[in-house]
Amino acid sequence: MELQLWHLWCISGVIFFIIEMLTPVLFFFNLGLACFVTAIGAYLGLALIYQVLIFALFSAVFLIWLRPFLFKKKNGDKPETIEMYVGKTASVIETTDEEKGRIAIFGEEWQAKSLNGEVIEKGSYAKIVKNDSIVMYIVPIE
């Protein structure tokens, strides 16, 4: 059996899908889809330059429009930033002051600092009022 160009596009698509399974970043999936669309063009007898253009066009289209949709489906309606913690109640797991401390929320541990300089004892609860990178600023719950 003779290997044709559309076979190579299909093989490339499968390879991209395998890479996507090993590194789930939703990048290679789009390239794999573009390979399969290009394989249709190759099967219909389009010249190689048109196949390359089809691949480039569909790769860009899938990356720009399909990838954000797939991310939203994959992550659900969960916020993608740590802003979702602001306003929530956390458990203080290390006595916290304006210099250092630790809190636990949603099964995760975070560095914490007291917003108003007040000492918040271990075992109490605090409200997260803002965050700065990986540091949560908290105030005691009264």
Residue 107: pLDDT above 70?
yes
Residue 44: pLDDT above 60?
yes
Residue 5: pLDDT above 60?
yes
Select the more confidently predicted residue: 121 or 83: 121
pLDDT in tens, 60-101: 998 888 877 777 766 665 554 567 888 899 999 999 998 999
Q: Please tell me what DSSP assigns to residue 65.
A: I
* Lowest-pLDDT choice from 29-33, 78-82, 89-93, 115-119: 78-82
Q: What is the pLDDT of residue 78?
A: 52
Look at residues 75, 100, 122 and tell me which one is the last residue of a structural domain: 75
Q: What number is the average pLDDT over the span 6-32?
A: 92
> Do residues 89 and 65 both lie within one domain?
no
Q: Please tell me what DSSP assigns to residue 96.
A: B
Nearest CA among 9, 18, 77, 11 for reference residue 37? 9
> Do residues 56 and 11 both lie within one domain?
yes
* Lowest-pLDDT choice from 45-49, 51-55, 64-68: 64-68
CATH number at residue 117: 2.40.50.140
Strands 135-140 and 108-114: parallel
Residue 43 to residues 46, 50, 74, 99, 129: CA-CA distances in angstroms?
8, 12, 33, 66, 59
> Do residues 34 and 88 both lie within one domain?
no
What percent of the chain is helix, strand and coil (3-state, nearest 5)? 45, 25, 30
Q: What number is the average pLDDT over the span 2-10?
A: 91
Q: In the chain, how many domains are there? A: 2
Residue 29, C-beta contacts closer than 8 angstroms, at least 6 positions apart: 16, 17, 20, 70
Amino acid occupying residue 72:
K
**Whole-angstrom distance, CA of residue 142 vs CA of residue 135:** 22
Cβ-contact 11, 38 below 8 angstroms: no
